[in-house]
Copies of this chain bind each other. A is one copy, B any other.
Amino acid sequence: MALIVKKFGGSSVATPDKIRSIVQRVLQGSQPDDKIVIVVSAMGKSTDKLIELASQITSKTYGREMDMLLSTGEQVSIALMAMAFQAAGHKSISFTGAQAGIKTSDAFNKGRILDIQPDRILKALDAGNIVIVAGFQGITGEGDITTLGRGGSDTTAVAIAGAIHADVCEIYTDVEGIYTADPRVVPNARKMDQITYGEMLEMAKLGAGVMQPRAVEMGSRFNMPIHVRSTFSDNEGTIIQEAYSMEIKQYLIRGVADDKNVAKITVLGVPNKPGNAYKIFAALSDANVSVDMIVQSVRYANEGVTDITFTVARDELAATNDVLAKIKEELGLEEILVDDKMAKVSVVGAGMAGHPGIASGMFGVLGEHGINIEIISTSEISITCLIAEEHVEEAVRAIHAYFLDEA
């Protein structure tokens, strides 16, 4: 007997036909005594349609009422899926986030899961049901419906798996697993059998879009194995877990990630007074702008000014410009330059710590290809270079060839 949580995204449940085919797959792929919880997202584009309805009422967004609206999308999916299991002859019951005991903070549109009280889920499993839970939603202490924001359904699935001590949490996607690089860019990229939470977090944050970082963090917290696999095949995917199995071949580098959602801002002539850098980044933080890579260069020490370069996500560029325009005069900044045609390329691997050759190898590969590195940042398990977007695919292929192509 296995206790398994399976998560299916919106495209997997986009039509009644697709829902029925998932039901067939789940029933064929499981043992009679397996206990199964399925977390589902809203059908296909239904969330977009609800957002469109709201936009016809008002151009503002109202947190609580928007969550009241959006949470109906998943509620439709779970009801239909439970009906489909019943129609296929299997006991099944659906639960909203509230009914599944998912307690969140009262931050509407971006609730954080505070606690899961899985009593109803466990009782329904014991009674022989396949339990269907609405992803992406929960309830506050007051009884208000919240949604969890981006990647919410993955997070719901992993959190429930942790709360009920499942054997594994399976995330079904439209790819076969996690690859050593984006297969559309690197044709000989390999699917990884395993990856650690830490490596996956680096890969995810750096743009490998398969898993949301929040869900990976949740998995790490519960030490819950996450199996990322294909909706469309029975092949094993990639297991995200704490450490590798003993027998797996150790690579120093596990994968190459890229991220094109990057804009570079250079603030020229920041008067070199204590607190000036702080003021810039505090103002950005107040405007909810996440700053990523930062480098400060002292131009000429005797001029008393420095230049500060940093990166933000492109969709936060407008907010960034607003903030900088406001403080430009107050801080006496000389000039602000923006380049939104940048990208990041990274190597990730838990084994790289203590191997100084990795960084120099990466820089050497980029140099050989004539690709200029604008900023470098490193973590325990990754090295990231900021380069021009036009070179990113060439860079990924070259780095993959150098570190990861099998002989």
Q: Could you list which residues of chain A lie within 8 angstroms of chain B, going by C-beta atoms?
A: 15-17, 19-20, 50, 53-54, 56-58, 60, 62, 64-66, 68-69, 71-72, 75-76, 78-80, 82-84, 86-87, 93-94, 96, 98-99, 120, 143-145
A19 closest partner in B (C-beta): B57
Q: Which B residues are in CB contact (< 8 Å) with A99?
A: 143-144
A87:B60 contact, CB within 8 angstroms:
yes
Q: Which B residues are in CB contact (< 8 Å) with A143?
A: 98-99, 120
Copy tally for this chain in the complex stands at 2
Given contacts A76-B69, A83-B65, contact A57 B16 (CB under 8 A): yes
Given contacts A19-B57, A53-B76, A87-B60, contact A94 B82 (CB under 8 A): no
A79:B84 contact, CB within 8 angstroms:
no
25 A–B contacts from the bound complex (CB under 8 Å)? A15-B56, A16-B53, A16-B56, A16-B57, A20-B57, A53-B76, A54-B79, A57-B83, A58-B84, A58-B86, A60-B86, A65-B79, A65-B80, A65-B83, A65-B86, A65-B94, A68-B82, A68-B96, A69-B75, A69-B76, A69-B80, A71-B75, A72-B72, A72-B75, A96-B145
A62:B80 contact, CB within 8 angstroms:
no
Given contacts A120-B143, A143-B99, contact A75 B84 (CB under 8 A): no
Q: Which B residues are in CB contact (< 8 Å) with A80?
A: 53-54, 57, 65, 69
Q: Which B residues are in CB contact (< 8 Å) with A87?
A: 57-58, 60
| Shortest CB distance A203–B (Å) | 36
New A-B contacts (16) at CB < 8 Å, excluding given A58-B86, A62-B82, A68-B82: A16-B56, A16-B57, A17-B56, A54-B80, A57-B84, A58-B83, A60-B86, A62-B86, A64-B93, A65-B79, A65-B93, A66-B79, A68-B78, A71-B75, A75-B75, A96-B145
| Shortest CB distance A145–B (Å) | 8
Chain A binding surface, main DSSP class:
helix
| Shortest CB distance A202–B (Å) | 38
Q: Which B residues are in CB contact (< 8 Å) with A78?
A: 68
A84 closest partner in B (C-beta): B57
B58:A68 contact, CB within 8 angstroms:
no
Q: How far is the CA of A93 from the CA of B87 in the complex (A)?
A: 38
| Shortest CB distance A92–B (Å) | 8
B53:A82 contact, CB within 8 angstroms:
no
B64:A69 contact, CB within 8 angstroms:
no
Q: Which B residues are in CB contact (< 8 Å) with A93?
A: 64-65
Q: Which B residues are in CB contact (< 8 Å) with A68?
A: 75, 78-79, 82, 94, 96
B83:A62 contact, CB within 8 angstroms:
yes
Q: Which B residues are in CB contact (< 8 Å) with A17?
A: 56
Q: How far is the CA of A64 from the CA of B99 in the complex (A)?
A: 13
Q: Which B residues are in CB contact (< 8 Å) with A65?
A: 79-80, 82-83, 86, 93-94
| Shortest CB distance A117–B (Å) | 12
Residue with the greatest number of chain B CB neighbours at <10 A, chosen from A62, A78, A94, A145: A62
Q: Which B residues are in CB contact (< 8 Å) with A76?
A: 50, 53, 69, 72
Q: Which B residues are in CB contact (< 8 Å) with A69?
A: 75-76, 79-80, 83
Q: Which B residues are in CB contact (< 8 Å) with A64?
A: 93
| Shortest CB distance A85–B (Å) | 9
| Shortest CB distance A65–B (Å) | 5
| Shortest CB distance A390–B (Å) | 43
| Shortest CB distance A47–B (Å) | 12
Q: Which B residues are in CB contact (< 8 Å) with A15?
A: 56
| Shortest CB distance A100–B (Å) | 10
For the complex of A and B, 6 pairs with smallest distance between CB atoms: A16-B56, A69-B79, A58-B87, A72-B72, A68-B79, A65-B82
Residue with the greatest number of chain B CB neighbours at <10 A, chosen from A66, A72, A79, A82: A79
Q: How far is the CA of A349 from the CA of B98 in the complex (A)?
A: 49
